[in-house]
Chain A
Amino acid sequence: MKNIWTIAKREYDLYFISPVAYVIAFVMLFFLGIVFIFGVLSATQNPYGGGQTPDLRMVNVWFGYLLIFGAPALTMRLISDEIRMGTMELLLTAPIRDSELIIGKWLGALFFILSILALLLIYPIILNFFIVDPGIDQMLMLSSFLGMILLASTFLALGIGISAMFSNQIAAFFVTLFLFLGLWFLAGVPAFFITSGADFFRFLQFGTHYETIIGGTLNVSDVLYFVTLTVLGLFVGTTAVEMRRWN
């Protein structure tokens, strides 16, 4: 356990000296800030009156879209860079398990996203104290933050799984990106053409589960979907590292 923590801490610290991580954090916070301001303005400054109560749903949806691009950029170098620099030999001859290495790296990246999410907490605080009277729906807010954490955890786990298979980080980035785009937008497409098993394809789709959770509906099946994919990604990563040992 301590090894996981040591690796996670090193990865987390590394993000703060990496320009890529700053760009990702900046783009996400900047863009989500604009979405938030427009959301609030369109709800409160509606000239016809009787607009909706401003909420965070748009911000949360866009967080998902941005993460499709941001997560591969955060995970692409996690393992592939170690392979390229030769430091993988160091880690694989240190007394740590392959799974500890993968989980540690994943946690490091997850903590980085959690730091961004912590900054996003300012939006519900603003809404709660300054804009919405008598205050926002607390349970909805909790559910949507849980959704964002689950999504980040899944994306990062899948990303590290793919990173472990490549020694080139650009290759790792694009394969991860296409997997996310496919799972978000394309996995449900066969459902339009076939009737039997259509539910299965719809179930595969990222967006459905994510939007359900951030919409405030917490189903066991949605949570399980993300947890399963997270475990799968970490498992693939560990297996890829083990296979590297066998060449």
Chain B
Amino acid sequence: MIRVSGLTKQYGARRAIDNLTFEAEQGEVLGFLGPNGAGKTTTMRILTGYMPPTDGEAIVAGFDVVSESLEVRRRVGYLPETVPLYTDMTAFDYLKYMADLRNLPTAENRVDEVLEMVGLSDRGSGYIGNLSRGMRQRVGLAQALLHKPEVLILDEPTVGLDPNQVVDFRKLVRDIGKERTVLLSTHILSEAQHICDRVLIINKGKIIAEDTPENLQARLVGGEKVSLRVRGDADGLEKVISKVKGTKEVTMKDSNTAEFEFAPGNDIRPEVAKTIIKEGYDLLEMRAVGMSLEEIFLELTNTEVKKKK
């Protein structure tokens, strides 16, 4: 459980996070989205007891991060963005050291367990300095899982993982998120869609949107976007698609590629496909276009500017 209210951190003249308020319940995976320098890492560092906030309050696992910092740190698992590891130690020794610092009973067994969980059982005796980036990332994750934390905080956890590992990782986090609280930051919207129950978008230290990934996309785009491609030049394709009932905002992206939108719940893709083929075009491809974080982000900041006007 995480409860944050009015959290502010000032670095000299710069305000890294400004009056943040949000909550994450047990059994929830909360995603933290935002561009670089938005204040994601700063917020996470405050929640893990690494540094105190300038103002505001944060309760993690039932304890205040400033006055009961040690209690919070006992209950939080944290994977920092930089994945700090001792390269001169073996993965096993490193995890054993961290387990000892947390006074875990039967530390050796637990280390074997977490190595198994992250799929590194056979690399435990290898020096961390010789491990690949993705493996190091997994050792870092193992470290965060050692003490079965009530709250798991992961800063950009999938950077450096290969696609297979990303799939395993997402499954692992979702499993953990069923019983515990997980807060993770990411740049990648599709990742948030796969793992998170809820997403916070922050920019310049402020929360600018908070919702489930699906709602966020629907709300911003006002519908789903589809891209389609036909063989050869496609004169008049735009008009043909527009004729289908329910299409919105048809645009040509290329001489043979068009994009159109439709309202969620009113899936007109089969209709569009039939129409195009009837009109004599060769349909090569039709796919949903997800909105990138950049687009969502631009959309959100633009709407903010509009509101102010």
Contact = CB atoms under 8 A, between A and B. Distances in A.
A161 B206 CA distance: 38
Interface residues of A, number: 23
B84 A90 contact: yes
A85 B129 CA distance: 12
A246 B49 CA distance: 11
Given A3-B101, A10-B97, A95 B86 contact: no
A191 to B, nearest CB: 44
Nearest to B9: A247
B187 to A, nearest CB: 20
Contacts of B86: 85, 87
Contact of B101 (A6, A85, A89): A6
Contacts of A87: 84-86
A17 B143 CA distance: 23
A172 interface: no
A182 to B, nearest CB: 33
B181 to A, nearest CB: 16
B70 A6 contact: no
A245 B50 contact: yes
Given A7-B101, A87-B84, A93 B11 contact: no
A75 to B, nearest CB: 18
A247 B52 contact: no
B101 A95 contact: yes
B287 interface: no
Interface in A86-102: 86-97
B42 to A, nearest CB: 10
Interface string B1-25: 0000000000100000000000000
B76 A93 contact: yes
Nearest to A92: B50
Contacts, number: 57
Given A86-B82, A90-B84, A95 B97 contact: no
B74 interface: yes
A14 interface: yes
Interface residues of B, number: 26
Contacts of B78: 93
A200 B87 CA distance: 47
B73 A6 contact: no
Interface string A1-31: 0110011001000100100000000000000
B302 to A, nearest CB: 33
B173 interface: no
B80 A6 contact: no
Contact of A95 (B52, B70, B143): B70
A15 to B, nearest CB: 12
Given A10-B97, A245-B51, A95 B102 contact: yes
B293 interface: no
B48 interface: yes
Nearest to A244: B51
Nearest to A94: B101
Contact of B49 (A10, A90, A93, A247): A93
A247 B100 contact: no
Interface in B49-74: 49-52, 70, 73-74
B267 interface: no
A100 to B, nearest CB: 9
A14 B88 CA distance: 9
25 contacts: A3-B101, A6-B97, A17-B88, A86-B80, A86-B82, A87-B86, A89-B45, A89-B50, A89-B82, A89-B84, A90-B98, A91-B101, A93-B49, A93-B73, A93-B78, A94-B101, A95-B73, A95-B74, A95-B101, A95-B102, A245-B50, A245-B52, A246-B51, A246-B52, A247-B11
Given A93-B48, A95-B70, 13 more contacts: A6-B97, A6-B100, A85-B87, A86-B80, A88-B84, A89-B50, A89-B82, A90-B80, A90-B143, A93-B50, A93-B76, A97-B70, A245-B50
